[in-house]
């Protein structure tokens, strides 16, 4: 699938510009249009306050200021930018819903990892997870720590036979098209048996290679190290600028349940991560 319509979430944190610049880079590489959605909540906005109109006006002005600055970056990169300002809600959960509504016309979503230490309640802490599980779109999550000049030059694919990994791998192909190296890694692969176990990491690597991408495969046993940490260590060893993995989990009435490996990566990522469900 080609990336022709990319959505990036923008808020009033200092991380938005870093996220936007990466989104511009990806859009330019794929000759795609970019939609920036400015969406944030004001948790202190309760009921019909006397200054409610001023709060909403300040929200619009903040969005307009960011739009002016980011539009100049888009023009310089020769990327068509569409700017959307969502209404200002009082509940952070409504911000997730605002983003979900816009994802129905996007090929990929770009959001930021939640920074618990500096959170002000304007963006929900579980938004990336919910977007992965609810939108049916690949979600590229940018860590709040670190500075990322490229995405997709050195890639690690965390491979487990199953629908989630297959979906993530194929969703990531446009990002990996110019990769110098892709490494498909299987953690604790099941031993061969009479029962079908699915595609191996070596076979998945061969599939990527048929797209003209230099790819290799490997497999590891945890041996006392949990799978999430082993994936994170592999990213460091490979100096990767992108992790591709399926998100294992489900939701019931907005109560999120994620597999341990997925949650570990969400909480400790130091590299952009593309997840699909």
Cα first-last separation, the chain: 16
Question: What are the φ and ψ backbone dihedral angles of 106, each rounded to 5 degrees?
Answer: -120, 150
Q: Are residues 109 and 221 in the same domain?
A: no
pTM of the entire predicted model:
0.91
pLDDT for the residue 228:
80
Quote the number of domains for the chain: 2
At 166 the three-state DSSP class reads helix
Answer whether residue 62 is part of any domain. Answer: yes
Q: Which residue has the tokens 């903040």?
A: 62
Q: Please, are residues 130 and 257 in contact by the beta-carbon 8 Å criterion?
A: no
Question: What are the φ and ψ backbone dihedral angles of 49, each rounded to 5 degrees?
Answer: -80, 155
Q: Which residue in 230, 254, 216, 28 sits closest to 134, CA to CA?
A: 254
What would the mean pLDDT of 11-36 be, rounded to a whole number? 95
**What would the pLDDT profile of 80-138 be if each residue is shown by its tens digit?**
999 999 999 989 999 999 999 999 889 999 999 989 888 888 999 889 988 998 898 99
Q: Are residues 69 and 125 in the same domain?
A: yes
**What would the pLDDT profile of 229-255 be if each residue is shown by its tens digit?**
888 888 999 999 999 998 866 554 444
What size, in residues, is the chain? 277
**What would the pLDDT profile of 142-154 be if each residue is shown by its tens digit?**
999 988 989 999 9
Domain membership of residue 57 as a residue range: 5-142
Q: Are residues 132 and 14 in the same domain?
A: yes
Q: Are residues 113 and 180 in the same domain?
A: no
Q: Are residues 33 and 102 in the same domain?
A: yes
The CATH number linked to 41 is: 3.40.50.12370
pLDDT for the residue 196:
52
Answer whether residue 109 is part of any domain. Answer: yes
Residue 157 has pLDDT above 90, yes or no: yes
Q: Are residues 59 and 11 in the same domain?
A: yes
Q: Are residues 105 and 34 in the same domain?
A: yes
Averaged confidence pLDDT in the chain: 88
**What would the pLDDT profile of 260-273 be if each residue is shown by its tens digit?**
677 777 777 889 99
Q: Rounded to whole angstroms, what are the CA distances from 43 to 7, 39, 120, 256, 275?
A: 25, 13, 9, 22, 29
């Amino acid at each position: 699938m080609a990336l022709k319509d990319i959505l990036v979430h923008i808020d009033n944190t200092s991380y938005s510009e870093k996220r936007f610049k990466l989104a511009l880079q990806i859009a330019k590489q794929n000759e795609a249009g970019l939609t920036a959605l400015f969406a944030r909540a004001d948790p202190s906005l309760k009921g019909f306050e006397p200054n409610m109109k001023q709060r909403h006006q300040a929200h619009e002005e903040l969005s307009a200021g960011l739009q002016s600055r980011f539009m100049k970056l888009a023009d310089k990169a020769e990327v068509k930018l569409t700017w959307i300002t969502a209404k200002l809600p009082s509940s952070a959960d409504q911000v997730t819903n605002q983003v979900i509504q816009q994802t129905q016309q996007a090929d990929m979503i770009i959001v930021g990892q939640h920074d618990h230490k500096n959170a002000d309640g304007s963006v929900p802490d579980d938004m990336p997870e919910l977007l992965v599980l609810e939108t049916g779109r690949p979600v590229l999550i940018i860590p709040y720590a670190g500075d990322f000049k490229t995405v997709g030059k050195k890639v690690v694919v965390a491979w487990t036979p199953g629908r989630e990994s297959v979906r993530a791998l194929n969703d990531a192909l446009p990002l990996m098209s110019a990769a110098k190296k892709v490494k498909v890694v299987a953690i604790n692969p099941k031993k061969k048996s009479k029962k079908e176990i699915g595609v191996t990491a070596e076979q998945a690597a061969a599939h990527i290679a048929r797209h003209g991408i230099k790819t290799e495969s490997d497999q590891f046993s945890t041996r006392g190290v949990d799978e999430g940490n082993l994936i994170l260590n592999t990213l460091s060893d490979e100096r990767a600028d992108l992790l591709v993995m399926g998100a294992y989990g489900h939701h019931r009435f907005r109560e999120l349940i994620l597999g341990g490996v997925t949650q570990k990566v969400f909480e400790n990522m130091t590299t952009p991560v593309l997840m699909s469900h």
